[in-house]
Amino acid sequence: MSSKDTLRVNLQDLFEEYAWKKFTRNWNIVKRVFRRRSKYYIGIRWELLEFKHETTRFKDRLKAVNATPGGVSISGESGAECPMVSNDVVLYQAEYKNKTPLKQEYTFSSTRQTTSSTTVELHESYTMGHECNIEISVPGDVVTVGAGLSGNLSVSKIDQESFESTTTWTVDTKVEVESGHRAEAKVYVSERNSIADFEVKTTMKIVDGKDLPIVIRRVSDDKIVYVILLPDLEAVFWDLIKKDEKDEKDENKDEKPKKFLSSEYIDNSELRNKHIYRHEIITYTRGTCKSVSWRNQQVEVQSERMSSYTALE
């Protein structure tokens, strides 16, 4: 299936269309005219479908790592202007001048916050109505210093979703300045900016021991007019699977085609003995993950003698 065709597959529409075709397959022309689709609604027991997500690819675009993006948020309790964003970012700095004849000790203290963000953009995916249900496993070096998450992102928006977290950086240390010297103390943190391409394999199946009910009701009185007990998912996805296989064969032979949808037989002896044959449906979600993250707080103190120093007696 070409990327243009597979940008979104709406499971709600797919199951409803399958049920409607079953319901109306023996209708004559008169029935089709007077019993319009708008007079009925279709209910699907989504809780009887199991979804298993496996991140099969998460690869950084190396040229994009550590490139400085716009919109990075740095805030401090003093309300000072944000510093220039670079790979090593100055969160806070202070200057101390010792014009006394003795060594002096100063307190270098500050609290600042940085906002880390991870933005997921979906290029190919399935949806359930106006939402999706995708779990993405993100490598620890991105997550722990990025969105501050557990390693999994639960994506529900169908186009783009952002995750943010705030990290507080605190410094409270002593700075010693020799007589006649000036010292500049700075707090640095390192930023990491990256773009990664990912792929998530989602395996979908009906809960063991159950059939999936699809119920058609009349809008006017809420009466059930048709029920499907679906034992196997493959029938619902059959046309799309065949189209995907055809489009794969039509791809440029020099390029490795990307499968979007497939079906695999569940070899279960208990079901086989009951002459029940079931398949798992496998879909692939592809997209990009952009992150801005922070780590490695450092304090740096540089001291130099003041050229015009005159000690105060």
pLDDT at 246 over 70: no
Sequence-distant (≥ 6) Cβ neighbours of residue 79 within 8 angstroms: none
Measure the CA–CA gap between 121 and 159, rounded to whole angstroms.
Answer: 6
Residues in the chain: 313
How many CA atoms does the CB half-sphere of 200 hold within 13 Å?
A: 28
Long-range Cβ pairs for the range 60-68 (8 Å, 24+):
60/194, 60/195, 60/196, 61/194, 61/195, 61/196, 61/197, 64/193, 64/194, 64/195, 65/192, 65/193, 65/194, 65/195, 66/191, 66/192, 66/193, 66/194, 67/193, 68/191, 68/193
Note the pLDDT of residue 310. 60
Measure the CA–CA gap between 250 and 2, rounded to whole angstroms.
Answer: 9
pLDDT at 311 over 50: yes
Which range among 5-19, 75-89, 179-193, 269-283 has the greatest average pLDDT? 179-193
> Per-residue b/e over 19-52, b at no fewer than 16 CB within 10 Å?
bbeebeeeeeeeeeeeeeeeebebebeeeebeee
Joined tokens for residue 209: 């021991």
Sequence-distant (≥ 6) Cβ neighbours of residue 175 within 8 angstroms: 96, 105, 106, 107, 108, 183, 185, 301
Measure the CA–CA gap between 216 and 186, rounded to whole angstroms.
Answer: 68
Lowest-confidence region among 155-164, 227-236, 290-299: 290-299
pLDDT band at residue 11 under the 50/70/90 scheme: very high
> Domain coordinates of the chain in residue numbers?
8-305
pLDDT band at residue 28 under the 50/70/90 scheme: confident
- 196 versus 261: the higher-pLDDT residue is 196
Classify residue 288 as exposed, middle or buried by CB count within 10 Å of its CB (0-12, 13-18, 19+).
middle
DSSP secondary structure letter of residue 81: P
Measure the CA–CA gap between 189 and 169, rounded to whole angstroms.
Answer: 9
Measure the CA–CA gap between 223 and 16, rounded to whole angstroms.
Answer: 17
pLDDT band at residue 309 under the 50/70/90 scheme: low
To the nearest whole percent, how much of the chain has pLDDT over 70?
A: 77
Quote the mean pLDDT of the chain: 80
Per the CATH hierarchy, to which homologous superfamily does domain 8-305 belong? Proaerolysin, chain A, domain 3 (2.170.15.10)
Residue 110 phi/psi, 5-degree rounding, is -165, 155
* Tens-place pLDDT, residues 86-129: 478 899 999 999 999 899 999 999 999 988 888 999 999 999 88
* Tens-place pLDDT, residues 40-89: 999 999 999 999 999 999 988 876 555 444 333 344 443 333 333 347 88
H/E stretch holding 102 reads none
